[in-house]
Chains A and B, each alone.
Chain A
Amino acid sequence: MNTSNRIFLYKRYERFWHWSQALLVISMLVTGFEVHGTYHLFGFEKAVNLHTIFAWTLLTLWAFTIFWQFTTGEWRQYIPTLKKVDAMVRYYTFGIFRDAPNPFHKTAEKKHNPLQRLAYLALLSMLSPVIWGSGLFYLFYSHWKSWGVDAYLSLEAVALVHTAGAFMMLVFFIAHVYLTTTGHTPLAHIKTMITGWEEAD
């Protein structure tokens, strides 16, 4: 294998973060929709307890990850850009069916294409606060009174916002998993996320 065609994209911590987060998000979707009453799997009580444990685990993971993002400077990967966004949109709607080249070329400095950047930023800045905000209020229901927020919140409203967030997360999950198949081979992106190495075209 020609090593010059390979670039190292994802460091060990980043890969650990990604996959453990993936596992936690999937688990939280599964247990969360059971708490919502969509199906029976673990039983309500166990589902609630698991969902709560996963939530705290994910928060802990995030604490480490935020630290990692800033100490490594990797946070810059999420700075949004509108440059080439139109080209990316054209690629995914037309080019991809005509074997046109991907207008974006990954480098260690720019791992995410402009659409990805926007999507991840939206996930982080919009969906995340919705889910975590509502989730923590949900979890700390018994403290509402002492916090003085019981007059402004209802469990129903909080639960509805949280459920709406869950649907959005599920939609993100579907799109995200599908887009992993759009590399030069269907499993190329997955492989990269596991090994850290990207095979350049």
Chain B
Amino acid sequence: MLLRFSSLLSAAAAYVLLAAAPAYATAAAKPEAMIAPQAQAVGKPVSASTADHSKFKELQKNFTSGPQVTEACLVCHTEAAKQVQHTKHWTWESTDPKTGQVRGKKNIINNYCTSPVSNEKDCMACHAGYGWKDDKFDFKVEKNVDCLICHDTTGTYRKLPGYAGHPVLKRVEFPHGSGRFVEPADLKKVAQSIGMPSRSNCGSCHFFGAGGNGAKHGDLDSSLQHPGKYLDVHMDEKGLNFTCVTCHATSSHQVSGSRYNVAAVVEGPAHIRGKKDESPASCQSCHSDKPHHDKMGMLNQHTDKLACQTCHIPQYARNEIGTEASWDWSLATTMGPDGKPMVRKDSAGRRAFDSKKGTWVWDSYVIPEYRWYNGVSTYKVIGDKIDPSKTVQINEVGGGPNDPDSRIWPLKVHRGKQPYDKVNNYLTVQHTAGEDHTALWHNYDWQKAIGAGMKAAKLPYSGEYGFVDTEMTWPITHMVAPKHDALSCAQCHSKNGRLQGIEGVYLPSRDNNKWLDMFGWTLVLLSLIGVLVHGSLRIYTSKKKG
């Protein structure tokens, strides 16, 4: 009767990976299609790689675990694991170069599943590594780097919650009690079929953040597996057919472009080969900061105040999958009428209530909120003090109208309600996932779950918890629409337009000086009255004489 962690995540993940499998022929062809479109001949595409991994003797083994495969990879790719170990995909940690704040999944409390601390066995299904199950994980062991989650091209390599990042190696029913089974991967075959990361590699985690398809980001979900032009002009399967790494260019396994360090402002011309590129994942790296060819030159004038995304992503979650607008944890542990845990879905089939997790509200075709943003977000890390009388900002976006490094950005604002320590005034860490008696999703006891979570986080817990309103903001940057779907001028240049609440910028048609207008129109009115009186007098006096 007890459902396993994140049944929705897994169901959705299962969907995308299964759906992706038949499409792999095209997925694998993507990188070479970029280089030589003529090579995309009819029939099975030929790999552009100079190495056929199925011929390597290191890979002619019946591997029985992920680390065994990694050891084989490292025989040739001697530096690969060291490189990965310097990335966020491995450390789950990131230091802000401007503020010095240490953030990352490991350290912050987010607005969805809150924190992986004490829940590693489940959460690390999305860690690019093997065996991170508690705070004793050794980040230096090279064989624990998971090469396959990013480089598998078969679509059969699956990582499920509960295994601390190890892949499925035995046939297993998932979600538990669902009657559906996940087949184990043939590691030998997977290892011999590796390739450049495709949309499904990245998507297997990034489309399903927060445990549901599209739940977290809103501009990333499984619809980007096979997108049309309307959804994403760059990833359009029949058009440019970009993969994630077309923009998120990598170097030494460092993936460019991160919400932790957003390149909010990129100026200058498009980047050419050979030029050192600080932010290859930005729009401007290909389009420059003067991308429009309109004759009047009006559109290019906007790039000093607006992010490209503001006009070119008029809505996010532009599909039926949608995205989560809010997550209220305070209703978790509420049982159904029969006293048993219950699950309810909304009319579109998306999770709406779960006794384990609380309530959600979903939305599709969402109009973003707009704010000044300089790319620096300050996060609430575990143990940071909060003011429970106010809505807690999980992350505060920096910047403002007078900051030359800020632009007006579209953001997803996700609202929530989270437990906090009423005496110590910080958000709590709770042990949610697991089969033990303190796990919230096993025993539905907040007190025990928070106690265990805080112990794992090494933070004092007063024993008194309450719930506080929270907000988390996400810059929107994916699902770029075709140009004809971009915002039209009047959508901002009007009295009640999109940028109604944006201060510090004069927006023609939205803004005016009421004193000048009052004075001006009074003057116009007086002139009219003046000439009317003068004219009437002329008519009157001429008639009198006439």
In the bound complex, how far is the Cα of B526 from the Cα of A76, in angstroms? 33
In the bound complex, how far is the Cα of B505 from the Cα of A39, in angstroms? 21
Q: Is the CB of A156 within 8 A of B511?
A: yes
Q: What residues of B have a CB within 8 angstroms of the CB of A35 in the complex?
A: 508-509
Residue A66 at the B interface, CB < 8 A? no
In the bound complex, how far is the Cα of B506 from the Cα of A97, in angstroms? 48
Beyond A37-B494, A44-B490, whether A99 also contacts B516 by CB under 8 A is: no
With CB as the reference atom, state the residue of chain B lying closest to A53.
B296
Partner of B296, one of A43, A49, A97, A159: A49
Q: What residues of A have a CB within 8 angstroms of the CB of B50 in the complex?
A: none
With CB as the reference atom, state the residue of chain B lying closest to A166.
B520
Closest Cβ of chain B to A143, distance in Å, is 9
- Binary flags per residue of B510-546, CB closer than 8 Å to A gives 1, else 0: 1111001101110110011011001101100110010
Q: What residues of B have a CB within 8 angstroms of the CB of A166 in the complex?
A: 520
Partner of B300, one of A142, A159, A181: A142
With CB as the reference atom, state the residue of chain B lying closest to A162.
B508
Residue A201 at the B interface, CB < 8 A? no
Residue B437 at the A interface, CB < 8 A? no
Residue A105 at the B interface, CB < 8 A? no
CB-defined A-B contacts under 8 Å, sample of 6: A45-B489, A97-B538, A155-B505, A159-B511, A164-B520, A167-B516
Q: Is the CB of A159 within 8 A of B508?
A: yes
Partner of A99, one of B520, B527, B542: B542
Beyond A37-B495, A37-B510, A159-B506, whether A174 also contacts B516 by CB under 8 A is: no
In the bound complex, how far is the Cα of B267 from the Cα of A145, in angstroms? 13
Q: Is the CB of A163 within 8 A of B509?
A: no
| Most chain B Cβ neighbours within 10 Å, of A44, A45, A48, A170 | A44
| Most chain A Cβ neighbours within 10 Å, of B488, B510, B511, B520 | B520
Which residues of A come within 8 Å of B, CB atoms?
A: 34-37, 43-45, 48-49, 52, 96-99, 141-142, 145, 154-156, 159-160, 163-164, 166-167, 170-171, 174-175, 178, 181-182
Q: What residues of A have a CB within 8 angstroms of the CB of B297 in the complex?
A: 142
Q: Is the CB of A36 within 8 A of B509?
A: yes
Q: Is the CB of B541 within 8 A of A98?
A: yes
Partner of B524, one of A37, A52, A170, A181: A170
Q: Is the CB of A45 within 8 A of B531?
A: no
With contacts A99-B541, A167-B516 known, what are 11 further pairs, Cβ within 8 A?
A35-B509, A36-B512, A44-B508, A156-B511, A159-B506, A166-B520, A167-B524, A174-B527, A175-B527, A175-B530, A175-B531
Residue B493 at the A interface, CB < 8 A? yes
Q: Is the CB of B304 within 8 A of A145?
A: yes
Q: Is the CB of A163 within 8 A of B494?
A: no
Q: Is the CB of B528 within 8 A of A160?
A: no
Q: What residues of A have a CB within 8 angstroms of the CB of B528 in the complex?
A: 174
Interface size counted on chain B using CB atoms at 8 A:
38
Closest Cβ of chain B to A17, distance in Å, is 25
Closest Cβ of chain B to A42, distance in Å, is 10
Q: Is the CB of B534 within 8 A of A163?
A: no
Restricting to B484-511, which residues have a CB under 8 Å from any CB of A? 488-490, 493-495, 505-506, 508-511
Closest Cβ of chain A to B310, distance in Å, is 16
- Binary flags per residue of B294-306, CB closer than 8 Å to A gives 1, else 0: 0011101100100
In the bound complex, how far is the Cα of B489 from the Cα of A43, in angstroms? 9
Beyond A44-B509, A156-B506, A170-B524, whether A163 also contacts B516 by CB under 8 A is: yes
In the bound complex, how far is the Cα of B512 from the Cα of A163, in angstroms? 9
In the bound complex, how far is the Cα of B300 from the Cα of A142, in angstroms? 7
In the bound complex, how far is the Cα of B531 from the Cα of A166, in angstroms? 19
Beyond A37-B512, A156-B511, whether A44 also contacts B527 by CB under 8 A is: no
With CB as the reference atom, state the residue of chain A lying closest to B297.
A142
Q: Is the CB of A52 within 8 A of B509?
A: no
Q: What residues of B have a CB within 8 angstroms of the CB of A154 in the complex?
A: 506
Q: What residues of B have a CB within 8 angstroms of the CB of A167 in the complex?
A: 516, 519-521, 523-524
| Most chain B Cβ neighbours within 10 Å, of A34, A48, A166 | A48
Q: What residues of A have a CB within 8 angstroms of the CB of B304 in the complex?
A: 142, 145
Q: What residues of A have a CB within 8 angstroms of the CB of B542 in the complex?
A: 99
In the bound complex, how far is the Cα of B488 from the Cα of A2, in angstroms? 62
